[in-house]
Amino acid sequence: MGIPKLNTKEWAEEVKFYVDSTQPDRVKKAKKYGMLMSSYERRMRERGVKMTDKEHTVVIENETEHIPYPDLKIKPFKPVKSSRDEEDLCLVLADPHIGKVTESYNLDVAKARFDYLLDSTMTIINLHRPIRKVHIFMLGDIVQGENAFQGSKLGETSKGAYEQIYDDAVPMFSRFCTSLAQGVGSIDVYGVRGNHGRYAREAPDRTNWDSFFYKALASAMINQKSVNVYPPKEFYQLVNIRGFRFFMVHGDQVSARMGIPLFALRRKMQEWFAYVGGFNYGYAGHFHSEAKDQVNSVADYTICPPLVTGDSWALEKVGRASEPKQVCFGIHDRYGRTFNYQLHTDNRFLPKKYDEPEGVVEI
């Protein structure tokens, strides 16, 4: 039990008692509250009750008005009713590995994730209209390939590279592109080669399963006037969109030493920046994980998460693996890259909620 709270009936009675009390009365009252009389008198003084030495009169001081901040002169919020500026949309597709088989990934899962991604992309287009066109960056390892030294042993792939390309990947991406083209002016597809497209060390660099895929996709889209496919001529692609430069590379050109690819890739990005005459944004895949870093004061690069999951290579080399998300962002005439989304493709990999124990505040 303590001294009553201010502005209560009990507090008014306490003040009346204190004014009329003698020293022995206050000693008893202090003991009742479990404190010394000096502490009791100090607490009363702190609350504005003071007793003179000769007269049992009390002075109750006026409470000081505290103003924590000066006048902030808040600016009125004026909702903008005008339409949004026109932008472009970019979707980055990284490491789908069509044909790969793991405990959480196979051809049926890949098809379901592409449908999920298609729905999400359509939602973003409607949310950010007007969208002039969609640019699709394909960062390689489109198909798993056949190389046994790259995780394509019997039981780890569903079929051969020919079938992976023509029976599965080309129909899947053709449907994806033509579906998106219904809602925008046009679709531009840019691709780079991945390391899983190399089927032999002695083969030329351009003899790559991903290169075959891009050519096949271009042939499949030849009558789709709103879909343009640009196969790679080098190991990278440099694309100018609304005046801003985007640098694309698979990422296998560097090693993940000590499980950290950022340091080596940053050095490579700095060299490529100088070689191509500069760029604003760089995008890479390969590492099946997600990261971002600066190239220098005017450029950055992103390691994009993969569509495939369950591949032990990422855990062995990098020490981690990302959820099956794909990167999506807007491109504005003035501001360059604007809104940025990571689009989920599989509800099994959504963030898990915690069952909080008692004492943890839930909001």
User: For the packed helices 9-20 and 23-32, what is the interaxial angle rounded to 10 degrees?
Assistant: 140
Q: Is the pTM of this model over 0.85?
A: no
Is beta strand 300-303 parallel, antiparallel or unpaired with respect to 291-294?
antiparallel
Query: Which whole-number Å values give the CA distances from 236 to 1, 217, 293, in the listed order?
Result: 76, 19, 19
Indicate the CATH number of 87-349 among 3.60.21.10, 3.30.450.20, 3.30.230.10, 3.40.50.300.
3.60.21.10
Cβ atoms of residues 255 and 286 within 8 Å: no
Mean pLDDT across the chain:
87
Residue type, position 228, single letter:
N
- State the pLDDT at residue 187: 96
pLDDT of residue 54: 43
pLDDT reported for residue 312: 78
Each residue's pLDDT tens digit, 73-126 = 777 877 766 578 999 999 999 999 999 999 999 999 999 999 999 999 999 999
Count of residues in the chain: 363
CA atoms within 13 A on the CB side of 249: 20
pLDDT digits (tens, 9 = 90+) for 201-240: 767 777 899 999 999 999 999 999 999 999 999 999 999 9
pLDDT score of 53: 46
Which residue type is seen at 18? Answer: Y
Q: Which of 240, 124, 253, 139 has its CA nearest to residue 190?
A: 139
- Residue spans of the domains in the chain: they are 9-60, 87-349
What is residue 336's predicted lDDT score, i.e. its pLDDT?
97
Amino acid in the structure at residue 15: V
Q: Which two tokens stand for residue 198?
A: 């190399």
> In terms of Cα–Cα distance, which of 306, 238, 300 is closest to 269?
300
Q: Is the Cα torsion angle 322, 117, 181, 98 positive or negative in sign?
A: positive
Q: In this predicted structure, what is the pLDDT of residue 55?
A: 45
Dist CA 109 CA 134 (whole Å): 25
pLDDT at 71: 73
- The helix (H) or strand (E) run that includes residue 184 is none
Residues of the chain scoring pLDDT < 50: 53-58
